[in-house]
Amino acid sequence: MSNPKSPLSTPEQELAQRTRRGFLGLGVGAAAAVGGWQWLWSQPQMGGVPMPLRRVLDANARLTQGALFGDQHLAPEFPPERIQQIRANGDFGLEAPLDPESWRLAVTPYRGAAPAQLTLADLKKLNKLDYTAEFKCIEGWSSIVRWGGVRFRDFVSMYAPGAERAAFVSLETPDKEYFVGVDMASMLHPQTMLCFEKNGQPLELAHGAPLRLVIPVKYGIKNIKRIGAITFSDQPPLDYWAEEGYDYYAGL
């Protein structure tokens, strides 16, 4: 005759079964996670980021860029007494010798319009824009600077009419060593300028003379120095730091 079961035998057995099921579930979950991680990093990459993750980042950026970079979102401006000296950070695209007098801005307008070669004097025919704003580097430092130049939207109206319908703008240095791609909403922002003055003086070569981009709703990596060419497109153009894995929109 078998011994009767103790009152604790059934709960103990149930606990053991639950423990085994729990370990089995954890094992299956861990295996799935490892497999998913291996699959993710086996996918083609852009700038060190797997394409599935890059698509998620780009989708998030598209959802937020309208709110962040619209006319209603202005970078704070500061009084003149707050002006600081800004470091000459980075020389990508600035290493080749340049004669400012022979410099020309090559403009490829949108959808087959005639290209143009502009001088600094051509740009200075537009209404001048001045403001004092904070320049923010993605490295973590910032400086308050007085910038002077012309609004990009005014430049488009005068020298590339119709290009505001493009989705993106490509800007590159004359030697093509540095290049940025910027969404058109940000380029038409009222504070985005083609800049030729810093703190009341002409730009120095180290700061992008004769012409640089100033766009205070973006980090400094988008504020390209020594612009040599501007092109309008419907597809995102190549961007130097996005190719290295940084966010394409780089908004503040």
In a domain, 2, yes or no: no
Residues 94 and 181 both lie in one domain: yes
Question: Which residues, in sequence order, are bridge partners of residue 169?
Answer: 182, 232
- Structural domain including 28 reads 7-42
Residues 230 and 210 both lie in one domain: yes
- What phi, psi does 65 have (nearest 5°)? -65, -35
- What phi, psi does 115 have (nearest 5°)? -70, 165
In a domain, 194, yes or no: yes
Q: How far apart are CA 170 and CA 183, in angstroms?
A: 9
Contact (CB, 8 A) for 250 and 219 = yes
Residues 230 and 175 both lie in one domain: yes
CA torsion sign for 150, 213, 112, 184 is: negative
In a domain, 184, yes or no: yes
Task: Give the tens place of pLDDT for each residue, 155-168.
Answer: 999 999 999 999 99
Residues 12 and 113 both lie in one domain: no
Task: Give the tens place of pLDDT for each residue, 98-132.
Answer: 998 999 999 998 987 789 999 999 999 999 999 99
In a domain, 158, yes or no: yes
How much is the pTM?
A: 0.76
Q: How far apart are CA 194 and CA 174, in angstroms?
A: 15
Residues 21 and 55 both lie in one domain: no
Number of domains in the chain: 2
Provide the pLDDT confidence category of residue 25 given band limits of 50, 70 and 90.
Answer: low
Contact (CB, 8 A) for 233 and 170 = yes
Q: Residue 234 belongs to what H/E stretch?
A: none
In a domain, 59, yes or no: yes
Q: How far apart are CA 104 and CA 243, in angstroms?
A: 27
Q: What is the CATH number of the domain that holds 126?
A: 3.90.420.10
Residues 11 and 128 both lie in one domain: no
Residues 64 and 31 both lie in one domain: no
Residues 56 and 25 both lie in one domain: no
Give CA separation, 152 vs 32, 156, 162, 176, 186, in Å.
50, 6, 13, 21, 10
In a domain, 88, yes or no: yes
Residues 54 and 162 both lie in one domain: yes
Task: Give the tens place of pLDDT for each residue, 163-187.
Answer: 999 999 999 999 999 999 999 999 9
Token reading at 21: 């099921």
In a domain, 233, yes or no: yes
Angle CA(247)–CA(252)–CA(126) in degrees, nearest 5? 105
Radius of gyration of the chain measured on its C-alpha atoms: 27
In a domain, 250, yes or no: no
Using alpha carbons, select from 139, 171, 193 the residue that is nearest to residue 238: 171
What is the pLDDT at residue 105?
A: 98
Residues 177 and 107 both lie in one domain: yes
61: pLDDT strictly greater than 80: no
Residues 35 and 80 both lie in one domain: no
Residues 15 and 58 both lie in one domain: no
Q: How far apart are CA 195 and CA 207, in angstroms?
A: 10
